[in-house]
């Protein structure tokens, strides 16, 4: 890797009270409000595209912001980041603390490339210190798109509502063919056992197909997870880094 210099793409949030996203989701607003809201969303997307266009190929790691450095899941996420760094792929996370920090740190401290899409929240809002490049995104839905757009596999560590939202949205995109059969790996058998049972209940009631269970690997073994990614992706996709063009950023 040529440089370990961190690059940050930041902005000053608009001073709208309440937040414009909150106002937007309350229902119809004036045409002018919704027009300018759409422009702000477009601006968020463009900032994300400019920041992350040349960082791939990536594997995104999802997980809770609340686990501390001494927690077993933090240590497991660090090991995941290290493993991915050794495989030569970029580790992408939501850019925050906890599992995100651990995965970024595992890559950052072991010769890998570490990037993130951070978002400002009242509590869990600070970008972690273990990223070579990151971007602060204003809108949750823009952030989720970026975390999926640049990755060809997804590792889901224990987490809360946000992690489950990311997991199910990604899985839905794969199930419906919007993104093509990229692996989703749940790491933490004890934690995700009820979720695994829920998916099997969905099969039992006919709300998903039996084959949909094959979209997810549940494991505690990081080597097994790495092998799964290699077998499932490397044999079916040509993965290469995009070279920067001569156009100015």
CATH of the domain at 149: 3.40.50.450
**Residue 38 domain-assigned (yes or no):** no
Q: Where are the alpha helices (DSSP H) in the chain?
A: 20-24, 31-52, 72-87, 99-108, 140-149, 161-175, 189-204, 222-229
9 within a domain of the structure (yes/no): no
45 occurs within a structural domain? no
Would you call 58 helix, strand, or coil by DSSP?
strand
What pTM did the predictor assign?
0.86
What 3-state DSSP class applies to 140? helix
The pLDDT, as a whole number, for residue 14 is 40
What is the pLDDT at residue 248? 45
In a domain, 5, yes or no: no
The HSE-up count of residue 70 (CA atoms within 13 Å, CB side) is 0
Residue 26 is assigned to a structural domain of this protein: no
Strand pairing class (58-62; 7-9): unpaired
pLDDT of residue 240: 59
Instruction: Give domain status of residue 6, yes or no.
Output: no
CA distance to 53, 151, 244, 245, per residue, from 239 (Å): 14, 10, 16, 18
Q: Supply the DSSP symbol for 167.
A: H
Please tell me the predicted confidence (pLDDT) of residue 16.
38
- Domain-located, residue 182: yes
> How far from 77 is each of 158, 217, 243, CA to CA, in Å?
10, 16, 29
Local confidence pLDDT in tens for the 249 residues of the chain: 444 456 555 544 444 345 777 777 778 888 899 999 999 999 999 999 999 998 878 999 999 999 999 999 999 999 999 999 998 899 999 999 999 999 999 999 999 999 999 987 665 567 899 999 999 998 999 999 999 999 999 999 999 999 999 999 999 999 999 988 789 999 999 999 999 999 999 999 999 999 999 999 999 999 999 888 877 766 665 655 555 544 444
Q: Count how many domains the chain has.
A: 1
Q: What is the pLDDT of residue 235?
A: 65
Q: Which pLDDT score is estimated for 30?
A: 87
Q: Is residue 148 part of a domain?
A: yes
Contact 15, 138 (CB under 8 A): no
Question: Cis omega (within 30 of 0) on the bond before 57?
Answer: yes
Q: Over the Cα atoms of the chain, what is R_g?
A: 18
pLDDT of residue 237: 59
What is the per-residue pLDDT for 5?
Answer: 55
Host domain of residue 185 = 55-234
90-93/133-137 β-pairing: unpaired
């Amino acid at each position: 890797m040529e440089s370990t210099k961190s690059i940050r793409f930041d902005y000053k949030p608009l001073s709208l009270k309440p937040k414009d996203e909150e106002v937007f989701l309350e229902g119809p607003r004036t045409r002018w409000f919704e027009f300018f809201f759409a422009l702000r969303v477009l601006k968020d997307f463009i900032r994300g595209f400019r920041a992350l266009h040349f960082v791939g190929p990536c594997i995104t790691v999802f997980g809770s912001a609340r686990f501390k450095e001494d927690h077993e899941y933090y240590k497991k996420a660090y090991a995941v980041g290290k493993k991915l760094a050794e495989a030569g792929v970029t580790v992408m996370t939501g850019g925050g603390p906890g599992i995100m920090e651990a995965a970024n740190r595992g890559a950052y401290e072991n010769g890998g490339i570490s990037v993130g899409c951070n978002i400002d929240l009242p509590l869990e809002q600070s970008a972690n210190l273990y990223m070579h490049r990151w971007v602060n995104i204003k809108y949750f839905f823009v952030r989720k798109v970026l975390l999926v757009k640049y990755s060809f596999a997804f590792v889901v560590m224990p987490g809360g509502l946000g992690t489950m939202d990311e997991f199910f949205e990604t899985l839905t995109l794969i199930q419906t063919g919007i993104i093509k059969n990229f692996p989703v790996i749940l790491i933490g058998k004890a934690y995700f056992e009820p979720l695994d049972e829920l998916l099997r209940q969905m099969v039992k009631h006919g709300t998903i197909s039996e084959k949909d269970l094959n979209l997810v690997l549940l494991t505690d073994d990081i080597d097994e997870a790495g092998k799964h990614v290699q077998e499932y992706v490397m044999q079916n996709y040509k993965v290469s880094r995009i070279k920067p063009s001569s156009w100015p950023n």
